[in-house]
Amino acid sequence: MAESRAVLRLVEPGTSAECAHCGRPVKFQARVQARQVIANVYEAGVWARVEHYHAECYETAGQPYGPPGP
């Protein structure tokens, strides 16, 4: 059965998502190597959605989908 999981990635140009924790945009900024956590969320073994987090917000939220992988 598929389980929710998270990965840590650089914020790429053109990214337009809202942080699932704080609600602010997760967006690319020139000269800043910002990182985001992207989580594939499964409910009852079925893919439900993708959630984006600022890397620090994911930590603050208690890593709801476990430690982010590479």
What are 16's two structure tokens?
Answer: 């337009």
Segments in the chain below pLDDT 50 = none
Tell me what the pLDDT averaged over the chain comes to.
94
Indicate whether this model's pTM tops 0.85: yes
Beta strand pairing call for 46-54 and 17-18: unpaired
- Half-sphere exposure (CA, 13 Å, Cβ side) for 63? 9
pLDDT score for 29: 86
* Domain residue ranges of the chain, discontinuous segments joined by +: 5-60
pLDDT score for 48: 97
- Half-sphere exposure (CA, 13 Å, Cβ side) for 20? 20
pLDDT, one tens digit per residue, over 16-35 is 899 999 999 999 988 888 99
Residue 63 CA to residue 44 CA, distance in Å, equals 19
